[in-house]
């Protein structure tokens, strides 16, 4: 009698244990198959990448679609780091907020026409560069008079409020140039097309992205005489250990032709070609 009681207790304990283990497992799906507890919520590890949302041809958001050269490089690098497209969370990274986003760990990487400078290295780190831009001019397609910043003497030049690029031309190349500031480069292009200004200035690839927009194609062109050097890097937190992996991905993108393809796709129809003496770049050694 006592033996039967002990056996019944063991069976009850075994059944209870099975129930507990079953509750801790992934359970079953609607088809009766088992689900994976780690992925049953549709999640998985994410990577947060900062880009511009308002720079056509570089970083541009339209609805739920993200396009541009910076965005293409970011996708390529993320994939090489082990992240698929649906694991990327895109976050807007305006110029004035980039250091804050990185130093407070709101993003893992930033691809946003982010020039590598010693001043910025005081608070953030960089991989790359993945592109070397230069300040240039955007003019009307039929303009044959403006070939460089020296030709802007007595003419009207547009740039974005807060930018130093137009003032640099006035200080160093054409003291008599008349400056017009607009809130964005789209407004500068509008002023150019209407004849209000003779040229627009900023980094050459930004100008090429603007020229590639359907509304502007065939109407404007990049002069193609850059007069500065802007080394676009991948901004990362100083605590990041991903610099070497990012550099390896950039190098692979250049070597397999994807880098050139991304440039061509995002500047198609503008006649733009990157400065061949600077591009494609070789990433710096990681600190």
Residue 18 pLDDT greater than 60, yes or no: no
Measured in Å, how far apart are the chain's first and last C-alpha atoms?
Answer: 77
Residue 7 pLDDT greater than 60, yes or no: no
47-133+231-267 and 135-222: identical CATH topology: yes
CATH class of the domain whose range is 47-133+231-267: alpha beta
Q: Distance between CA atoms of 58 and 264, rounded to whole angstroms? A: 12
Q: Distance between CA atoms of 125 and 260, rounded to whole angstroms? A: 26
Segment holding 4, helix H or strand E: helix 2-24
Q: What is the mean pLDDT of residues 254-279?
A: 94
CATH of 135-222, one of 3.10.180.10, 1.10.150.120, 3.40.190.10, 2.40.10.220: 3.40.190.10
Tell me the DSSP string of 12-77.
HHHHHHHHHHHHHS--B-TTS-B--TTTTTS----EEEEE-SEETTTEEEETTEEESHHHHHHHHH
Q: Distance between CA atoms of 230 and 55, rounded to whole angstroms? A: 16
Q: What is the mean pLDDT of residues 25-54?
A: 57
Do residues 129 and 283 touch, judged by C-beta distance below 8 A? yes
Residue 12 pLDDT greater than 60, yes or no: no
Q: Distance between CA atoms of 153 and 156, rounded to whole angstroms? A: 9
Q: How far is CA 269 from the centre of its chain?
A: 22
* pLDDT at position 40: 30
Q: Distance between CA atoms of 199 and 236, rounded to whole angstroms? A: 34
Q: pLDDT by residue (tens digit) across 78-118?
A: 999 999 999 999 999 998 899 999 999 999 999 999 999 99
* pLDDT at position 14: 40
pLDDT > 70 fraction of the chain, expressed in percent and rounded: 85
pLDDT > 90 fraction of the chain, expressed in percent and rounded: 78
Q: pLDDT by residue (tens digit) across 129-179?
A: 999 999 999 999 999 999 999 999 999 999 988 788 999 999 999 999 999
* pLDDT at position 96: 86
Domain ranges in the chain are: 47-133+231-267, 135-222
Give me the residue label for tokens 């049953």: 40
Q: Distance between CA atoms of 220 and 192, rounded to whole angstroms? A: 9
Q: pLDDT by residue (tens digit) across 196-248?
A: 999 999 999 999 999 999 999 999 999 999 999 999 999 999 999 999 999 99
* pLDDT at position 25: 39
């Amino acid at each position: 009698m006592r033996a039967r009681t002990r056996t019944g207790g063991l069976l009850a304990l075994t059944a209870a244990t099975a129930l507990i283990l079953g509750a801790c497992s992934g359970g079953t799906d609607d088809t009766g198959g088992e689900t994976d507890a780690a992925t049953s919520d549709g999640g998985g590890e994410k990577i947060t990448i900062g880009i511009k949302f308002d720079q056509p041809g570089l970083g541009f958001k339209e609805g739920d679609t993200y396009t541009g050269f910076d965005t293409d490089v970011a996708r390529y690098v993320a994939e090489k780091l082990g992240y698929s497209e649906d694991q990327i969370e895109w976050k807007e990274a305006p110029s004035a907020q980039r250091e804050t986003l990185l130093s407070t760990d709101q993003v893992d990487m930033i691809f946003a026409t982010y020039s590598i400078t010693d001043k910025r290295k005081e608070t953030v780190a960089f991989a790359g560069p993945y592109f070397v831009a230069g300040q240039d001019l955007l003019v009307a397609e039929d303009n044959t008079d403006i070939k460089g910043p020296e030709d802007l003497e007595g003419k009207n030049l547009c740039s974005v409020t807060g930018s130093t690029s137009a003032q640099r031309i006035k200080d160093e190349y054409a003291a008599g140039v008349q400056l017009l500031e607009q809130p964005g480069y789209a407004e500068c292009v509008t002023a150019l097309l209407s004849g209000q200004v003779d040229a627009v200035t900023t980094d050459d690839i930004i100008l090429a992205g603007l020229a590639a927009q359907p509304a502007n194609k065939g109407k404007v062109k990049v002069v193609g005489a850059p007069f500065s050097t802007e080394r676009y890097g991948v901004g990362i937190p100083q605590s990041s250990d991903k610099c070497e992996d990012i550099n390896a991905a950039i190098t692979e993108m250049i070597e397999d032709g994807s880098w050139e393809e991304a440039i061509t796709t995002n500047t198609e129809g503008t006649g733009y070609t990157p400065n061949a003496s600077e591009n494609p770049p070789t990433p710096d050694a990681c600190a």
